[in-house]
Amino acid sequence: MKLNTGIIAHALTPPPLFICGTPDHGLTLSDVRFLLPGKGPYEKDILYFAPWAKLQAAENDFPPYLICVGGNTEALAFYRRRNLTGLIMAEDDPLVVFSAIQSIFLRYNRLESNLVAALRTKAPLRDIMNLCAEIFQNHVILYDTERNLIDYSSRFAPDADVPYWKETLETGRRSELLMAEVRKHDVNLQTISTNFSDYVELGPGLPKIMTYQFFENGERLFTLTITETNRPLSVCQLKLLDHIAELLAPSLLSLKAATRGNRRRLRDAFVTILDGEPVDPLLLSHFLAAVGWSIDDDYVLLLIKFPQEDTTSETLPRYRHIYERIFPDAVALIYIDCLVLVVHNDSVEIMSRYLPRLEKQLVRHRARCGVSFPFKGVLQLDAQYKNAKIALAGAGMDRRIGLLSDAVTEYLVDRIAAVMPLYPLCHREAIRLYEYDLENGTDLLLTLETYLKQNKSLKTAAAELFIHRSTMTYRLGCIKKLVRINLDDAGERLHLLLSCIVLRTLGRVKQSAPEKNNPAVKSRLMQ
C-alpha cells in the first residue's frame, strides 16, 4: 500500500517534532530509503531518510519527500527555505527511527493484502469491516442511502451502553441522539473534503468522523463512516479512506445488486404464498438458496401492525429495513398495510434474545406484533400469517407482542363453541367451582387450572398467579373441601384442565366474574 507523509506521521510513536510542507498529498510513497547526497535524481515514490548532519552537507538537489532525524528548529528553517515536504524527528538513533518507519510500510502492506484477499474470497461483510477497522485503528460502520445500518466492525466498537451506539444497535439506523447533540452545540461543522470523502469535527466532547460516499450512476448507495473510538483521526487519512473505498467499491456494489435482486425475488415469492397462490417449488428453492435458506428449514412468522398514519409508502419501506435487522437472519416484506417478518432458524435462544429488542422498537413506533407458532416449511406462510393475526388479536391493546401460544386456547374454544355446545362436556366439579366463583368473587377455577397446567407444582403455579405459596396451598385446600376430584388420575386431570379452560374462556372468568344469574352469561355458557 502506498502512503503519504501525513499517514506516516500519524502512525509514528513518538510523533515527529515538526510536520512540514503538504503532508496530505496523494498516496505516492511505497518505501523508505537512506538519502545518499549527490546520488540523484531521486524517485518520487520513495520517502528518503537522513540524519541532520548529513542533510546539512547535501547540495541543493533534494528529494520530494524527506525525513530528518535531529536538527530541531534549524532543520525546520532548512525545510521551509527549500519548501520541502516531510518530517523532522527528535534526536534519536537514526536506525531505530528508520526501522520504525519501515515497520509502518510493512504493516500497511500486510493490512492491504489481507483486505484484498478477503474481498477476493467474498468473506463475510463483518470480517471486511473488521479489516478496515484495523487499517484505521477505529470503528467502521456502513450505512445505506437512508442511513439504515448495514454492518459494522466489532473491532474498536464503542461500549454497548454508549447512548449513540446503543441507539444505533437498537434502531438499526444512524443515531438521532448524536445528531441532536451536534445541533445542540450549535457548532459550524468543520469539514475537509476530497471528491467523495469528508473529515468532520462534530463538536466539543463528540468524536471526529470520516465518511466516504459510494455512488453508482449518480445515485448514492452507501456511506462508510470511520468513527474516532480508539486513536485520533487525521485529515491526512482522507486519502487513505479514498484508497480503501476504491478497493471496497466493486464488492459492495455487487453485494448491493445481489442482495436487492435476491431479497426482492424472495419477497415476491412470499407475497404469492401469502395470497394463497401456487408457487413453483424449484424457483422458490432457488430464491431461498440465494440467501442461504431452504424450503423445509425452521421458521417463525411475525405480523407487525402500525398506526394508520404510519402505513404510508414512505414509512413502511423504511420500517421494513429496521425490523429486518433486529433478527440475525430474517426477511421482511410489506403485505397489505402491515409488515410480515419471516425469521429463519428461530431457536429458543434467538427469540428470547431478540424479542426484547423487538419490543423496544415497537414502543418507538407505537406498533403491535403477533407471533405465530414455530413451523417447519416455508410453504406454510399463508397459514402462519393467519395464526399471527390470531396472536395479535389475542394480545389486545395492552401488550406489544402477542404469542399464539397465549391466544390459541381461547381461539379454539370460541371456534368450537360456535358449532357445538361445550358446557355439557365440562367436568361437573369444575362447573361447581365456576359457580362458586360467580357467587363469591373468588378465583378458585383459575387456581385449579394453573395448578394443573404447571403439573401440580405449587411453586410454579403460585409464581404464575403472583401469589404466595402459602396462599396457593390455602386455595387448594378450599377446592378440596368444595369438590370431589382425584388429581392422581391422569384422565380426570386432563378433563378438569380442559373444563377449566372452556369455562374460563366462555364465561371470561379470570380474576373477577359477572353475577351468577346474569342471563347473557348463562346463555353464552349453554351455547
Q: Is the pLDDT of residue 349 over 70?
A: yes
Domain 122-258 architecture: 2-Layer Sandwich (3.30)
Q: How confident is the model at residue 291 (pLDDT cuts 50, 70, 90)?
A: confident
Q: How confident is the model at residue 187 (pLDDT cuts 50, 70, 90)?
A: low
Segment 276-280 shows an average pLDDT of 91
Residues whose CB is less than 8 angstroms from the CB of residue 437 and which lie 6 or more positions away in sequence, other chains included: 443, 444, 445, 509, 513
Range among 33-42, 194-203, 396-405, 466-475 rated most confident: 466-475
Residues whose CB is less than 8 angstroms from the CB of residue 442 and which lie 6 or more positions away in sequence, other chains included: 436, 478
Query: Candidates 3.30.70.270, 3.10.129.10, 3.40.50.10580, 2.60.120.380; correct CATH number of 296-414?
Result: 3.30.70.270
Q: Is the pLDDT of residue 229 over 70?
A: yes
Radius of gyration of the chain (CA): 34
Q: What is the pLDDT of residue 260?
A: 60
Structure confidence by residue, pLDDT tens digits, 53-77: 888 877 677 888 999 999 999 999 9
Residue 124: is it exposed, middle or buried by C-beta count within 10 angstroms (0-12/13-18/19+)?
exposed
Q: Is the pLDDT of residue 327 over 90?
A: no
Q: Is the pLDDT of residue 176 over 90?
A: no
d(CA 2, CA 500): 77
* Cis? peptide before 14, omega within 30° of 0: yes
Segment 130-147 shows an average pLDDT of 92
Q: What is the pLDDT of residue 315?
A: 84
Q: How confident is the model at residue 259 (pLDDT cuts 50, 70, 90)?
A: low
Q: Is the pLDDT of residue 518 over 60?
A: no
Query: Candidates 1.10.3110, 1.10.3470, 1.10.10, 2.60.300; correct CATH number of 420-525?
Result: 1.10.10
Which H helix or E strand runs over 178? helix 176-185
Note the Cα 249 to chain centre separation in Å. Answer: 23
Q: How confident is the model at residue 302 (pLDDT cuts 50, 70, 90)?
A: very high
Segment 215-228 shows an average pLDDT of 86
Beta bridge partners of 335: 338
Structure confidence by residue, pLDDT tens digits, 82-101: 899 999 999 889 999 999 99
Q: HEC states along 84-128? A: CEEEEECCCCHHHHHHHHHHHHHHHHHHHHHHHHHHHCCCCHHHH
Report residue 377 as a C-alpha cell.
Answer: 416449511
Q: What is the pLDDT of residue 205?
A: 82
Mean pLDDT lowest among 240-249, 253-262, 264-273, 471-480:
253-262
Q: What is the pLDDT of residue 189?
A: 62
Segment 180-186 shows an average pLDDT of 74
With H, G, I as helix, E, B as strand and everything else as coil, classify residue 327: coil
Structure confidence by residue, pLDDT tens digits, 368-389: 999 999 999 999 999 999 999 9
d(CA 480, CA 458): 15
Q: What is the pLDDT of residue 258?
A: 52
Average pLDDT of the chain, as a whole number? 87
d(CA 290, CA 261): 10
DSSP character at residue 26: -
Q: What is the pLDDT of residue 191?
A: 79
Q: What is the pLDDT of residue 255?
A: 66
